[in-house]
Every structure is written in structure tokens, then in C-alpha cells.
């Protein structure tokens, strides 16, 4: 198996040396100091993971992250965000907040590589292509955002199990903050609109009152939409 190619986008600073040093130690590393250069370098060398060190660029990097994902399509992006964690917003496949240790950094990249290798996750008539972020429902393809893909993935990997809201927030949004879960509610509503015949009366993605949600799909699958 060849080396894993990682593209780091960020400014090289002594205070952030641990980032580049860790990546260089474990992966085949290329570095770009701006988003424009990063897109050009990615097009030429096609990395398996992009690490956006927004902290080094003194910006939240949320707009740059969105641009990178639009340009690079199926390349997963790890966003090193300056925070604060409770209000951070990003379209990245995975978020990390300071302090970023070598162990946290390599662990996050391993998670992204696992998603790339485990390309398809399916249960009943539902199938998600995690690399391309496409949900297939009864033969109909629906393009997903990173968060939508992460959310439907955890339900497909845990069919019949009740997932509490805290666990979902931790796995999809990398936070255990439950003061405002409207974003989760919006995403749950989107999944129901995609898979339910009547989203207002869900049969498959059920609410477990006071706890969370459970995906249940009978053997005969979903109704035709």
C-alpha cells in the first residue's frame, strides 16, 4: 500500500510547527500557504486528505473550507478551527479545535481515510456513498452535504438502535453542547423528507421522546416515492 498523500493549507509558523512536523512524519506531505494555491496543488497531485489550518491564517476559515470542498469535490477536509467551539460553523468533513496534539491530528486523519475506504454504507433500500456523499433511496440519488452524510451514516451503522441527541451531536458536530440543537432538528427533518412517504408522520426514522432517534426499516423496505 502506498503512502498517504496529505495537503496542508496554512502558514508555516513556529507556534504551529507541530502540525507540519506530525504530518511530515506520518504522511507524504505537500504544503500550500493559501486556498488558491491549495486548490491548484490538489488538482495537480490529488491528495487523499486536505488539512486546513485556519488557526495559522488567523481566520475561522469557514468560507475557505466551503470553497475547497466545492473545488475538490470528493477529497475530505479536516478543518483546524480557532473556535470558539460552541459557535463554530463549518462544512468540513471533520473539525478539530486547539490544542491539536499529534495524536488527535493523526487520529482525525485515520477517521477520514476510513470513511474513504469504507465507501458504501447500506441498510435495506438505503445506501450512502461516503466518498461522493450521495444517498441512494429506491434508486433515486440525492447529493449530501458533509454533515448530512455523517448523520445518515451513523443511523445506517446502528439500525434499530436508539441514538441519543448527545451522542449524535458528538459524532456529527464534534460537540456535546445541547443548549441549541436546532441544527440537528433541521438535519433530521431533511432525512425524513428524503426517505419517508409522509415526513410529518415518520415510520422509519422515529423520535424516541426525551432521548433521541431510531432508524427502523422493515424487510420489505421503503414505499415508492
219 alpha-carbon distance from chain centroid = 29
* Domains present along the chain, CATH in parentheses: 5-117 (3.40.50.2300), 120-215 (1.10.10.10)
User: Starting at the edge strand that comes first in sequence, how are the strands of the sheet with 120-123 ordered?
Assistant: 120-123, 126-129, 134-137, 140-143
Is the omega angle on the peptide bond into residue 84 within 30 degrees of 0, that is, cis?
Answer: yes
Give the single-character DSSP code of 135. E
% pLDDT > 90, the chain: 33
Give the tens place of pLDDT for each residue, 24-46.
999 999 999 988 898 888 888 88
Give the tens place of pLDDT for each residue, 46-55.
888 999 999 9
Q: What per-residue confidence (pLDDT) applies to 39?
A: 86
Closest by CA position to 194, among listed 145, 158, 160:
145
Kindly report which listed range (84-93, 148-157, 194-203) carries the lowest average pLDDT score: 84-93
Q: What angle do CA 132, 134, 139 make, to 5 degrees?
A: 135
Cα within 13 Å of Cα(48), Cβ side: 17
Q: How many CB atoms lie within 10 A of CB 148?
A: 19
* pLDDT at residue 93 greater than cutoff 90: no
112: Cβ contacts below 8 Å, ≥ 6 apart = 49, 76, 78, 93, 94
Gap between the Cα atoms of 120 and 84, Å rounded: 33
Gap between the Cα atoms of 190 and 199, Å rounded: 9
* pLDDT at residue 1 greater than cutoff 70: no
Q: Tell me which residue has cell 433511496.
A: 137
Amino acid at each position: 500500500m502506498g503512502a498517504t498523500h496529505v495537503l496542508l493549507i496554512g502558514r508555516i509558523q513556529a507556534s504551529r510547527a507541530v502540525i507540519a512536523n506530525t504530518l511530515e512524519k506520518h504522511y507524504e506531505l505537500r504544503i500550500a500557504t493559501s486556498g488558491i494555491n491549495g486548490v491548484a496543488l490538489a488538482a495537480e497531485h490529488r491528495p487523499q486528505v486536505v488539512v486546513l489550518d485556519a488557526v495559522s491564517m488567523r481566520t475561522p476559515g469557514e468560507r475557505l473550507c466551503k470553497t475547497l470542498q466545492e473545488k475538490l469535490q470528493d477529497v475530505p477536509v479536516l478543518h483546524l478551527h480557532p473556535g470558539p467551539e460552541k459557535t463554530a460553523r463549518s462544512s468540513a468533513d471533520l473539525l478539530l479545535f486547539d490544542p491539536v496534539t499529534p495524536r488527535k491530528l493523526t487520529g482525525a486523519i485515520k477517521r477520514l481515510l476510513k470513511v474513504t475506504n469504507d465507501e458504501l454504507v447500506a441498510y435495506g433500500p438505503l445506501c450512502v456513498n461516503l466518498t461522493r456523499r450521495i444517498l441512494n433511496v429506491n434508486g433515486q440519488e440525492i447529493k449530501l452535504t458533509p454533515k448530512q452524510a455523517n448523520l445518515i451514516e451513523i443511523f445506517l451503522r446502528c439500525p434499530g438502535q436508539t441514538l441519543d441527541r448527545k451522542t449524535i451531536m458528538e459524532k456529527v458536530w464534534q460537540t456535546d453542547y445541547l443548549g441549541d440543537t436546532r441544527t440537528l432538528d433541521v438535519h433530521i427533518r431533511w432525512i425524513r423528507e428524503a426517505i419517508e412517504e409522509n415526513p410529518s408522520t415518520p415510520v422509519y426514522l422515529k423520535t424516541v421522546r426525551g432521548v433521541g432517534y431510531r432508524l427502523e426499516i422493515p424487510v420489505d423496505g421503503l414505499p415508492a416515492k
